[in-house]
Amino acid sequence: MRIGLWQAIVGIGVLAVALGGKPVSAADQTIPIGEIISNPAGFHRKLVRIQGRVHAIGARSGRDVTAQSLCGQDFDLEDDTGSIRVVYLVRCQGDAAKTEPARDGKVVQVEALIEAPPDNVKTSSGTEFTATALARQILPAAP
């Protein structure tokens, strides 16, 4: 019985995961924030892992398309190479540890989808609109 190349590749991937490995993704490696800021279009809609110190925390709330309440935070995440605004939203469940995982001054690791604007976009107040990290997960940084 012959198997195709595609079936062999999928089979090897499934076997590797079953034996305790995990699939490799772009978010497995920490990316310097400055690299994202210097080329936001290159990271647009890409999943990344970034790490830095939390500053300027704000509360977020709203509703999703099914009218479920959303809670969360937005904050600046800064490393030695730059700073990026992070937005984190989850369904409100009364658990502050889940809806507010970042604390001012703490170093965290964020897995996020990068949203980058087209070139030369300014907000209504005249400031330049830059890339934003839409956080999927926020964890304390490894020591």
Low-confidence ranges of the chain (pLDDT < 50): 1, 5-24
**How confident is the model at residue 87, as a pLDDT?**
93
**How confident is the model at residue 86, as a pLDDT?**
95
Under 8 Å between Cβ of 29 and 50: no
Contact partners, residue 36, CB within 8 Å, separation at least 6: 43, 48, 50, 82, 84, 114, 131, 133
**How confident is the model at residue 13, as a pLDDT?**
43
**How confident is the model at residue 136, as a pLDDT?**
93
Structural domains in the chain, sorted by start: 24-140 (2.40.50.140)
Q: How far apart are CA 113 and CA 101, in angstroms?
A: 17
pTM over 0.75: no
